[in-house]
Amino acid sequence: MSEVTRKPTTGPAAASPGEVPTIWTTGWTDVFNTGTWRAATPIHEWRPSPCHADCPIGNTIPGWIADIREGAYQEAWLSLVETNPFPSVTGRVCHHPCEGHCNREVIEAVVGINGLEHFLGDRALEEGWALPAPAESQGKRVAVVGGGPAGLSCAYHLRRLGYEVTIYEAREELGGLLRYGIPEYRLAAGVVDAEIARLLDMGIEVRLNAGLADRAALESLEAEYDAVFLAVGAQQAKILRHLEGGAGAGRVLDGLEYLRRCTEGVARDLGERMTVIGGGSAAMDVARSARRLGHQVSVVALESRGAMPAQPEEIEQALEEGVALFDGAMVAAVEAGADGGLTLKCVKVTLDLGAPAGELRPVPVEGGEFALAADVIVTAIGQDPDLAPFNGAFGDGSSDGSSVDGATGGFVECAVLVADPVTLATTRAGVFAGGDVASTNRFVSEAIGAGRRAAYSIAEYLSHPDACIPERPKLEDSVNRTEVNSFYFEFSERRERVVAPAAERLQAFAETISVYSTEDANAEAGRCMSCGFCVQCDNCFVFCPDMAVQKDPSAAGAEGVAPGASECASEGAPPAGAAVRVVAAVPCVGAPADSGPFYFVLDQYCKGCGLCVTECPRGAVRLEQVNL
Amino acid sequence: MHTYELDEQTVFNSGHNACPGCGEALAVRYVLNTMGPNTIGVVPPSCIAIICGPQPYSSMRIPVYQTTLEASAASAAGISRALKRQGKHDVNVLAMAGDGGTYDIGFQALSGAAERNEDMVYVCLDNEGYMNTGAQKSSSTPYLAVTSSTPGGKPSDKKDITEIMAAHRIPYVATATVGYPDDLARKVAKARDMEGMRFIVVLTPCLDGWGVADDGAVRVSRLAVDTGFFPLYEVEDGERYTINHGPKGIPVERYLEQQKRYRHLDADQIKEIQTGVDHRWSLLQARAESMARPVVCD
């Protein structure tokens, strides 16, 4: 029998029938082409996770969480700042849509992505990690008008791509909304200072107190620079005309103005009782700041609590801090009150679901009238960009922001500067616009994302050899709940950041939320299922009955394609037309193309059963029908 | 995250004739690649013989003797004794038979070899029927499962081969399945490194015979364990029980609904099967506990 094992493996032809009994084995089955049975082919493919698809900045979230799992915090942070130069800021104030469709919910609860970002951001500031160095100079100059999140993000990415950047900021300090629009207890000024200083260290020129005064100023920037990015934000508060006159005269303030007074410490003398109108984050910021300064505060919001644009935790914390919420209501009229204050005639409302998108059309509920007493009214119902300086420079595409009248008409969202949704180009060649000035999607991370997109668009416009606009993956293309295999994940409770008790919060403007401990961060990172993002768990290899899934990189051969090598592939799509039979295990942005072993499928043997697809815990293998 | 670490050697070849997604081919992979190349195989007529290869080809890079359906254990015992006679004490002898060749037709040879404590590893790849010849019932087919010879569902219960073999008081008896490959490989390695008669019954879903999707072998196999239908445990010397994986509180219906052979069941029958599963699980636990107690003599 030992004779058998010494026979060549090339099949029966190699053995002469005269030497060996015909019943003896003379060859191995690996000469057979069982791959011809196949009706479908498994493909190892990096696929976007839902958190990635939901991230306005386009962050490859499972990639840096995997780095945290391995304790490589600086690598994780470097991966994070590939897209977002402000993790410490967004770790505090991002509305974290990334947690909205997290597949971990099938096990117990979504992953605390925002908390992990907070952890990495603060770790970087503690350790003094520097942002990546700019690329070789492209010899071109770009003006960024506006030093808020959109402008700073654009400046960062342009600088990294090798452009000379000058930021023009109207105020005395950079930061925009981050500095002037978000109270200290949510975002400490020190954090904003530190992340901006680190960004400026890359070599970005800044001109403070240098706003864009008029159309001529824009034209001179166009003449002086190769491209201009307008990110001047939206700083004109919408007003409610029906409250301004009569008894309300001099008693109505807008939210931005109030928050500014808070930072200056002169907000207390407005009277004891405050009513805040609005249901967004700004309204919560005003209400909670006012509570810290000792006001009695009520909030009147058109939307019902669940539909308010403010984050649920903001509303919850505001209520804990003693804010009285009147949701699904509006202030119809203001009258002089008996005690020298104001009486607000309010009414419960429902919202007309048939109203056009972006418009709130309240319908009063019969018998829903009630009254509130107040000394001061603060409106926080949104802001319009100040388009006056552009003075028709963009043709009919933009119009002056308009006020709204809650008593008679709809609450129309503001007019914004019109920019192409993909390229952010305006009607003027070489002028781009993004952030609040060009969008009604008013979130810090949306602005940072717009700045990033604009930078790559400008680079494309300026014929950068490598850059192209990153394509954001679609949620419907991301790994969904039916594609993860829950067997492989054990129950592990979500770690929460500690929020100070309400009584303590009301004492000061100190930050209310604490950062994860290293232990919590590691545990939370361990909960990430790494959807669509191969972590080389070997399940596809282990469960192949035909040994057709292999992992020796040397055998990958010419069929292998490793997306991620160029910036263009950074948001997911492998190079167009590529034969993706083999994909690098860690094809994220910045990952070297040769990192980690390959899995590859042997065409000759794979019978197409799909076990590797089903047993992949994270949806990183997909089955494609074979076209005959 | 749960991951598997298998210490595999290359014995089982690609290009074999198992159906796409075959649970038995997976089992053969883990068994052979754990046993290693220093092994002589014995295979009776069965799907394993098909997987092994059409003569003169083989998918197993070891010498394999294809014996008769009755004689797996007898053949393996003969080879084992002959090797010892030649002074070769370091060669593993592995019999791999199906449930037909183990529970039914090969049973007397198996029982005899166990009684003599022959030195071999005997692995039964149990797909609960004569799947190779058109899915007839065997004494391993579970209660109410449809086969081509029990079109209304099998009226009798599955034979408990694990307890029968444990009752031979042989050194090692274990249950395993492909949905728990690390557990399976560990048991094979443990058996390989022991002496005397070692017996492992591996539940291997038959996609065609059970009516399971091509990508379902691992899922169904895991559900068999997680619902308590097929607990994974070991018995050493007929009395030292170790339960490795038992029910996780998942109703047995989740297991049954994955398979066409149970599609005819009504709610009462499912309940009856659930009751049987619960009962056998409590018996196993009681047995494991009572057997662990030291024997006290007056």
A335 CB within 8 Å of a chain B CB: no
Q: List, as ranges, residues 515-534 from A with C-beta within 8 Å of B.
A: 526, 529
Closest CA to B36 of B57, B12, B53: B12
Task: Report the number of distinct structural domains present in chain B.
Answer: 1
Size of interface A-B (CB pairs under 8 A): 135
pLDDT at A398 over 50: no
- Mean pLDDT check: name the lowest of A222-231, A350-359, A501-510, B170-179: A350-359
Exposure of B189 by Cβ count < 10 A (0-12 exposed, 13-18 middle, 19+ buried)? middle
A34 CB within 8 Å of a chain B CB: yes
Q: Transcribe A512-571 into DSSP letters.
A: -BPPPPHHHHHHHHHH---TT------HHHHT-TTS-EE--GGG-GGGEE-TTSSGGGGG
Q: Is the CB of B214 less than 8 angstroms away from the CB of A609?
A: yes
Give the domain extent around B114. Answer: 23-291
CATH number of domain containing A332: 3.50.50.60
- Mean pLDDT check: name the lowest of A190-204, A235-249, A531-545, B178-192: A235-249
Q: List, as ranges, residues 173-212 from B with C-beta within 8 Å of A.
A: 181
ipTM confidence:
0.96
pLDDT averaged over every residue in chain A = 84
Last residue of a domain, one of A331, A365, A381: A381
CATH number of domain containing B90: 3.40.50.970
Last residue of a domain, one of A461, A492, A513: A461
A229 lies in the same domain as A273: no
A365 lies in the same domain as A274: yes
A366 lies in the same domain as A266: yes
The two tokens of residue A454 are 């604009």
Whether A295 is covered by a domain: the verdict is yes
Q: What is the C-alpha separation between B63 and B41, in angstroms, rounded? A: 6
CATH number of domain containing A573: 3.30.70
Whether A109 is covered by a domain: the verdict is no
A376 lies in the same domain as A390: no
The percent of residues in chain A predicted with pLDDT above 90, rounded, is 58
Residue A190, helix vs strand vs coil = helix
Q: How far is B37 from chain A (nearest CA, A)?
A: 10
Exposure of B37 by Cβ count < 10 A (0-12 exposed, 13-18 middle, 19+ buried)? middle
Mean pLDDT of A449-453: 96
A329 lies in the same domain as A221: no
Whether B195 is covered by a domain: the verdict is yes
Task: Report the number of distinct structural domains present in chain A.
Answer: 3
Q: How far is B70 from chain A (nearest CA, A)?
A: 20
Whether A505 is covered by a domain: the verdict is no
Mean pLDDT of A248-276: 80
Chain A residues lying within 8 Å of B63, measured CB to CB: 1-2, 4-5
- For residue A69, the chain B residue with the least C-alpha distance is B1
Cβ atoms of A130 and A532 within 8 Å: the answer is no
Token look-up 């399971």 returns B212
pLDDT-derived band at A20, boundaries 50, 70, 90? low
Q: Phi/psi class of residue B181: alpha, beta or left (left: φ > 0; alpha: ψ in -120 to 50)?
A: alpha
Mean pLDDT of A300-304: 93
Whether A598 is covered by a domain: the verdict is yes
Closest CA to B254 of B226, B216, B233: B226
Whether A255 is covered by a domain: the verdict is yes
Exposure of A549 by Cβ count < 10 A (0-12 exposed, 13-18 middle, 19+ buried)? buried
Whether B1 is covered by a domain: the verdict is no
b/e map of A64-87 (b: 16 or more CB within 10 Å)? bbbbbbeeebebbbbbbbbbbbbb
Whether B99 is covered by a domain: the verdict is yes
Chain B residues lying within 8 Å of A15, measured CB to CB: 56
A232 lies in the same domain as A244: no
Chain B residues lying within 8 Å of A529, measured CB to CB: 1
Of A396 and A598, the one with more pLDDT: A598
Q: Is the CB of A2 less than 8 angstroms away from the CB of B63?
A: yes
Whether B297 is covered by a domain: the verdict is no
Orientation angle between helical segments A281-292 and A312-320, nearest 10 degrees: 20
The two tokens of residue B59 are 């998918």
B20 CB within 8 Å of a chain A CB: yes
Which pLDDT score, from 0 to 100, does residue B69 have? 97
A362 lies in the same domain as A425: no
Q: Phi/psi class of residue B95: alpha, beta or left (left: φ > 0; alpha: ψ in -120 to 50)?
A: beta
End-to-end CA distance of chain A: 43
A262 lies in the same domain as A368: yes
Q: What is the C-alpha separation between B118 and B123, in angstroms, rounded? A: 14
A280 lies in the same domain as A366: yes
Q: What is the C-alpha separation between A160 and A137, in angstroms, rounded? A: 9
B249 CB within 8 Å of a chain A CB: no
Cβ atoms of A58 and A472 within 8 Å: the answer is yes
Give the domain extent around A417. Answer: 141-236+384-461
A162 lies in the same domain as A279: no
pLDDT digits (tens, 9 = 90+) for A49-102: 999 999 999 999 999 999 999 999 999 999 999 999 999 999 999 999 999 999
Last residue of a domain, one of A381, A404, A424: A381
The two tokens of residue A133 are 């160095």
Of B26 and A47, the one with more pLDDT: B26
B150 CB within 8 Å of a chain A CB: no
pLDDT-derived band at A17, boundaries 50, 70, 90? low
Positive or negative, the Cα torsion across A559, A560, A565, A569? positive
Paired strand residues for B233: B243
Whether A81 is covered by a domain: the verdict is no
Q: List, as ranges, residues 68-127 from B with C-beta within 8 Å of A.
A: none
Whether A569 is covered by a domain: the verdict is yes
Q: Is the CB of A23 less than 8 angstroms away from the CB of B56?
A: yes
Question: Residue A333 carries which DSSP code?
Answer: E
Which pLDDT score, from 0 to 100, does residue A410 have? 38
Read off φ and ψ for residue A431, nearest 5 degrees: -110, 125
pLDDT at A145 over 70: yes
Which pLDDT score, from 0 to 100, does residue B85 have? 97
Cβ-nearest to B20 among A28, A547, A609: A609
Q: How many CB atoms lie within 10 A of CB A499?
A: 15
What is the total residue count of chain A?
628
Whether B15 is covered by a domain: the verdict is no
Which pLDDT score, from 0 to 100, does residue A14 have? 47
H/E element, A601: strand A600-601
Residue type, A68: I
Which pLDDT score, from 0 to 100, does residue A351 have? 87
A339 lies in the same domain as A252: yes
Mean pLDDT of A184-206: 94
Question: Which stretches in chain B have pLDDT values below 70?
Answer: 1, 292-298
Whether B121 is covered by a domain: the verdict is yes
A30 CB within 8 Å of a chain B CB: yes
Q: Is the CB of B3 less than 8 angstroms away from the CB of A615?
A: no
Instruction: Give the helix ranges, DSSP H, for A14-93.
Output: 50-54, 61-69, 73-80, 87-93
A278 lies in the same domain as A352: yes
Which pLDDT score, from 0 to 100, does residue A16 have? 55
Mean pLDDT of A294-315: 92
- For residue A13, the chain B residue with the least C-alpha distance is B56
Whether A414 is covered by a domain: the verdict is yes
Residue A58, helix vs strand vs coil = coil
pLDDT digits (tens, 9 = 90+) for A551-598: 765 544 333 333 332 333 334 333 333 333 333 333 333 333 444 446
